[in-house]
Structure 1
């Protein structure tokens, strides 16, 4: 590991001197560690010309190959060394869900458990809990997060919305096809499914508009008049209440996917997490009732 650590630092810095400064060894010690690694591998990783060294093609390939494994080891070690408390919970959440559903409800959690500290981080991708500093995550989709337990929170109701200035020309669902149809990046087929739900036949030619990674960006574009958008209603309650967005037709769309609280099995023994879990499930009941057909 010492040899790999020295080599990784030297590969990043392009030489032994700065690598030695980073890891707290002498330049000659770094040089010896890398020489040992080269002897063990049976191939040179650096080209040497006097005191000058340069990473060669074999070294570049090896550095790229071992970097992910070393990063996993660093993260796992940092997680193992971090002080643990059952009064602190680290939760990864989808950005829009965190901003519009979790954050406004935090005073309820604080009033119930004033000594519980919940740290939130925005994440959209699945990850391995063993390699990340999170106790739980908010997941949208099916209950298929590898190696995790799933608590169903609620399903969503996506509704077609437009800016107020666009609503006048919409008499039937088919009229929406005349507008640019804004989409969320991972739901490119949402409009096609909605027109099928609305019974529009034959399906009209759809005017593809821009796509957005996050629903709140999508909502802002729709409110500005950029086109029509399909957005989960619970994420745009402020815009609907203020009139910044108007529901075009009372035809909400739901699917088999849902929001889940996901977590490793051993989290059940953590009192702080158990309190957070109970609170989230309780808060989600109202949303689940509203989303029911």
Structure 2
């Protein structure tokens, strides 16, 4: 490498300190993240500013803010550093550029993704997708995922989301219990044990309100972290449940769960595919993303 080309490659440690300080607007918090002292981070950034002959931060006491030049530089090098991290992680783990790590909600992965994967494999047999279960948003900077499937608000810190589809939940219960305790109208549910998914405890109240039932629902008799656990409890006769219809196709087809009413509960939130913000998609991730969006259109 010529001296001139070397001159255009600042020390990686200084770049990492710069990005961390920009993220936190603080040298001390950047140091905590990187395992360095505040003075060490300050020296790294001063060295980088001297290297570039630019003022990257405006100092105001203990608080620092990116300068206009610093904002432009961060926008340019941030994605490049993420690519270096991803390439290094792939090299260490032996992953090829055809291999993807995707985080997904457990029930979504089992009931929606898994049955559709043969269509992706048929088109692109060289792409390998490793799925891991994650229930809550995480930092792409700290977990080695190429993308994630998320339900909820569109906001994911550090992520760029694309809508897959909104869900529609239906009322379900076991047919044997329904014969013993009929449900002819929504208000009849006030006499039933109500089962809930742990993160959606308000679902029954919303369902009753929308149906015009001006009474509080009874306290849930049981709560489950995953929808498939909830479906199993309902099929066993433990009570009534509100479950996204796309997750319980097999139970409805087999008759282990039935839906006695036409009323449904449309969710305000949706399922999203999220990738790291500002980072170019690899060819394999682009193929997976396009396939996923195509499958989601059929669901909508």
Instruction: Tell me the TM-score normalised to structure 2 length.
Output: 0.68
Between the two proteins, the alignment pairs up a number of residues equal to 213
| Structure 2 SS opposite 1:255 | strand
**2:282 aligns with one of 241, 254, 270:** 270
In the alignment, which residue of structure 2 is the partner of 1:135?
A: 146
* Superposition pairs of residues 111-260 of structure 1, within 5 angstroms: 111-168=122-179, 169-200=182-213, 202-260=214-272
Q: Show structure 2 runs of 5+ residues with no match.
A: 1-84
User: 1:174, 1:204 within 8 Å by CA — same for their partners in 2?
Assistant: no
In the alignment, which residue of structure 2 is the partner of 1:27?
A: none
Q: Offset of 1:76 from its aligned partner? A: 9.2
| Structure 2 SS opposite 1:230 | strand
Q: Show structure 1 runs of 5+ residues with no match.
A: 1-74, 289-293
In the alignment, which residue of structure 2 is the partner of 1:8?
A: none
Q: Offset of 1:125 from its aligned partner? A: 1.6
For 1:77 and 1:106, locate their aligned partners in 2 and report how far apart those are by CA, in whole Å: 26
RMSD: 1.9
For 1:204 and 1:148, locate their aligned partners in 2 and report how far apart those are by CA, in whole Å: 38
For 1:94 and 1:205, locate their aligned partners in 2 and report how far apart those are by CA, in whole Å: 28
In the alignment, which residue of structure 1 is the partner of 2:89?
A: 79
Deviations 1:146-203 (A, max 9, x none): 0110110000001110100122311111101111100000001000000011111x21
Q: Offset of 1:211 from its aligned partner? A: 0.1
For 1:93 and 1:204, locate their aligned partners in 2 and report how far apart those are by CA, in whole Å: 34
User: 2:173, 2:235 within 8 Å by CA — same for their partners in 1?
Assistant: yes
* Superposition pairs of residues 46-61 of structure 1, within 5 angstroms: none
Structure 1 runs of 4+ aligned residues shifted over 6 Å read 75-78
For 1:194 and 1:249, locate their aligned partners in 2 and report how far apart those are by CA, in whole Å: 12
Q: Offset of 1:130 from its aligned partner? A: 1.1
| Structure 2 SS opposite 1:263 | strand
Q: Offset of 1:82 from its aligned partner? A: 3.5
For 1:84 and 1:238, locate their aligned partners in 2 and report how far apart those are by CA, in whole Å: 35
For 2:242 and 2:281, locate their aligned partners in 1 and report how far apart those are by CA, in whole Å: 40
Q: Offset of 1:204 from its aligned partner? A: 4.6
| Structure 2 SS opposite 1:157 | strand
For 1:85 and 1:77, locate their aligned partners in 2 and report how far apart those are by CA, in whole Å: 10
